[in-house]
Chains A and B, each alone.
Chain A
Amino acid sequence: MSKKIVVLGGGTGGTIISNNLRRHLPKDWEITVIDRDDRHIYQPGMLFVPFGIQKASTLVRSRKKYILPDVNFVIDEITHIDPEKREVKTKSHKFSYDFLIISTGCKIVPEENDGLTDAWGKNAFSFYTIEAAEMLRKKLKEFEGGKLVMNIAELPFKCPVAPIEFVFLADWYFKKRGIRNKTEIEFVTPLPGAFTKPKASAVFIESAKSKNIKITTSYELNAVNGKEKYIESVKGDKVSFDTLVIVPSTIGDAVISNSGLDDGIGYVPTHHNTLKALKHDRIYVIGDATNLPTSKAGSVAHYEADVVVFNIMSEIHGVKPEEIYDGHSTCFIVYSKGTSSLIDFNYKIEPLHGKFPAPKFGPFTLLKETKMNWYGKLGFEGLYWNVLLAGRHLGAPPTLVMAGKEVG
């Protein structure tokens, strides 16, 4: 074995797994991370930019700086993956591998939604890129009342709780500015509820009600009409708006589909529990690039990284990969600047009430708006850059822990 591992993408998943592997593998294993740029974005912060809670400029740091020095970091455009030859091509190089990790993420494509490009930046906005979030901040600053609609164009999309957080924060923001009574907020989603998991959905719907936020569910977007100021569903239902905030269609990286590795919409078919590519040996997939039925979120990539490291180490030692991953995801849900809720769930166990991470003690409370959860969210940023990206974990297993959760 030539002893080479190539990691595609140096975002949350790619960085964590490279550092983690570097610690576990002997020095004769070469680890190479390839990304198109050196801009690592703290994505949870993008939600805060439109409300002036966090400055856009604080969200970007060097990828290289957070990748261990004895990992090769290459800036190049990945152009092709060849699983048969075990080779990755970039614009200017070729890389062969013994194991490949695909952590190429996903991105929004406003061009995929009819009419959205015309309205973009005029009365249709988003917060799923830094540039978009910054544009939205300027728009909200001069917002003097009217109807704000938050829409999710289609499934799957990234960070499923972010749009809910956005409308809660919008409620807080407009109250603070004294224009909430002149503002209508409507949340329009393709999901059958505010969230797909029933218990959490009921809690969010209750919160939305108390904040006078209207929720429209099972809404499959067909087109945006910025001139006439409405969105229209495939069934023909129109929802009018003055300002539209949208999660546009989301797709996996083009290199996945161009290399014929995708499920039809740019994601890699991935084994739910081993995280190995379903159709190819020596390839593992983590983070937003998978087609797994769990959140496209950083916590997921982090938990998955532990499992993939374990399975690659197993394979190197001639042992079959184990079915460990359970779809575990943990997300803060910010309600206002100062309060937040928290959910912890997996493929099978929906978000439940209880304490996290320690039973009884917490300090965080699940499925409930508390001040302590907000401090957790604030503290998380430091943890992200300094502990999690380094590939260290906090003493907890990657899988869901039932202790501390109220069952029934």
Chain B
Amino acid sequence: MSIEVNGTSYATDENGYLVNLEEWTEDVAKKLADAEEIEMTEEHWNLVKFLRSYYDEYQIAPAVKVLTKAIANEKGMDKKEASEFLYQLFPKGPALQACKVAGLPKPTGCV
């Protein structure tokens, strides 16, 4: 499988995740977000960039808990508000959908 962005083809896996992490660009992200019916706002970009830098540092996508903690700290929210905020941005689940847009491999959870 693959997606077309600005005339270039990018390989994706059977679930629509980008195969090569380093091929990611903001245009690719927009295309991936379109497929998920997500309109990218500044908050979406912030989260996507957080995911990418976390992956870069730790070689793994963060647990949802890491995301909610980071958002709670940054925005002065409690845990529940941070979770709700995340689901507003990525309704199908922050981990699965946000990772896809960020060009990370499909999170395998803990198994």
Q: Which A residues fall within an 8 A CB radius of B?
A: 114, 154-157, 160-161, 190-192, 195-197, 218, 220, 222-223, 234-235, 249, 263-265, 269, 271-272, 278, 291-296, 329, 347
Query: Is the Cβ of B111 less than 8 Å from the Cβ of A269?
Result: no
Which residues in B have their C-beta under 8 angstroms from that of A190? 64
List the B residue with the shortest CB-CB distance to A190.
B64
Query: Is the Cβ of B65 less than 8 Å from the Cβ of A265?
Result: yes
Q: Which B residues fall within an 8 A CB radius of A?
A: 57-60, 62-66, 69-70, 79-80, 83-84, 87, 92-93, 95-96, 107-111
Which residues in A have their C-beta under 8 angstroms from that of B60? 269, 272, 291-293
Query: Is the Cβ of A156 less than 8 Å from the Cβ of B109?
Result: yes
Query: Is the Cβ of A155 less than 8 Å from the Cβ of B83?
Result: no
Q: Which of B57, B65, B84, B111 touches A294 (beta carbons < 8 Å)?
A: B111
Given contacts A234-B84, A264-B70, A269-B57, contact A155 B109 (CB under 8 A): yes
Given contacts A197-B111, A234-B87, A293-B110, contact A264 B59 (CB under 8 A): no
Q: Which of A161, A278, A293 touches B108 (beta carbons < 8 Å)?
A: A293
Q: Which of A192, A218, A271, A295 touches B110 (beta carbons < 8 Å)?
A: A295
> Nearest Cβ distance between residue B66 and chain A, in whole angstroms?
5
Which residues in B have their C-beta under 8 angstroms from that of A292? 60
Which residues in B have their C-beta under 8 angstroms from that of A218? 92-93
> Nearest Cβ distance between residue A2 and chain B, in whole angstroms?
31
Which residues in A have their C-beta under 8 angstroms from that of B65? 154-155, 249, 265
Q: Which of A195, A220, A235 touches B111 (beta carbons < 8 Å)?
A: A195
Alpha-carbon distance between A118 and B24 when the two chains are bound, in angstroms:
46
Query: Is the Cβ of B110 less than 8 Å from the Cβ of A220?
Result: no
Alpha-carbon distance between A156 and B110 when the two chains are bound, in angstroms:
5
Given contacts A155-B64, A234-B83, A264-B69, contact A192 B58 (CB under 8 A): no
Alpha-carbon distance between A154 and B58 when the two chains are bound, in angstroms:
20
Which residues in A have their C-beta under 8 angstroms from that of B79? 114
Query: Is the Cβ of A272 less than 8 Å from the Cβ of B108?
Result: no
Interface centre among B58, B65, B70 (most CB of A within 10 A): B65
Closest 9 CB pairs of A and B: A156-B110, A234-B83, A160-B111, A196-B109, A269-B58, A264-B66, A293-B108, A196-B111, A155-B109
Which residues in B have their C-beta under 8 angstroms from that of A114? 79-80
Which residues in B have their C-beta under 8 angstroms from that of A192? 93, 96
Q: Can you name 22 A-B residue pairings with CB atoms under 8 Å?
A: A114-B80, A154-B63, A154-B64, A155-B110, A156-B109, A160-B110, A161-B111, A192-B93, A196-B108, A197-B111, A218-B92, A220-B64, A220-B83, A223-B80, A234-B80, A264-B70, A269-B58, A269-B60, A271-B59, A293-B107, A293-B109, A295-B111
Alpha-carbon distance between A220 and B84 when the two chains are bound, in angstroms:
10
Query: Is the Cβ of B63 less than 8 Å from the Cβ of A265?
Result: yes
List the A residue with the shortest CB-CB distance to B95.
A155
> Nearest Cβ distance between residue B73 and chain A, in whole angstroms?
10
Which residues in B have their C-beta under 8 angstroms from that of A263? 58, 62, 66
Which residues in A have their C-beta under 8 angstroms from that of B108? 196-197, 293, 347
Query: Is the Cβ of B80 less than 8 Å from the Cβ of A222?
Result: yes
Which residues in B have their C-beta under 8 angstroms from that of A161? 111
Given contacts A264-B69, A296-B110, contact A156 B59 (CB under 8 A): no
Which residues in A have their C-beta under 8 angstroms from that of B64? 154-155, 190, 220
List the A residue with the shortest CB-CB distance to B61.
A293
Given contacts A114-B80, A220-B64, A291-B60, contact A235 B110 (CB under 8 A): no
Which residues in B have their C-beta under 8 angstroms from that of A296? 110
Which residues in B have their C-beta under 8 angstroms from that of A249? 65
Alpha-carbon distance between A319 and B107 when the two chains are bound, in angstroms:
33
Please name 18 further chain A to chain B contacts, defined as beta carbons within 8 Å, in addition to the given A265-B66, A269-B58, A295-B110, sorted by A numbering. Answer: A114-B80, A154-B64, A155-B63, A155-B95, A155-B110, A160-B109, A160-B110, A191-B111, A192-B93, A196-B108, A197-B108, A218-B92, A220-B93, A223-B80, A263-B62, A264-B66, A278-B58, A294-B110
> Nearest Cβ distance between residue B14 and chain A, in whole angstroms?
10
Given contacts A191-B109, A265-B65, A265-B69, contact A235 B59 (CB under 8 A): no
Query: Is the Cβ of B109 less than 8 Å from the Cβ of A278?
Result: no
List the A residue with the shortest CB-CB distance to B70.
A264
List the A residue with the shortest CB-CB distance to B91.
A235
List the A residue with the shortest CB-CB distance to B69.
A264
> Nearest Cβ distance between residue A29 and chain B, in whole angstroms?
30
Which residues in B have their C-beta under 8 angstroms from that of A269? 57-60
> Nearest Cβ distance between residue A357 and chain B, in whole angstroms?
21
Alpha-carbon distance between A272 and B60 when the two chains are bound, in angstroms:
9
Which residues in A have their C-beta under 8 angstroms from that of B62? 263-264
Query: Is the Cβ of A157 less than 8 Å from the Cβ of B110?
Result: yes
Alpha-carbon distance between A269 and B56 when the two chains are bound, in angstroms:
12
Which residues in B have their C-beta under 8 angstroms from that of A235? 87
List the A residue with the shortest CB-CB distance to B109.
A196
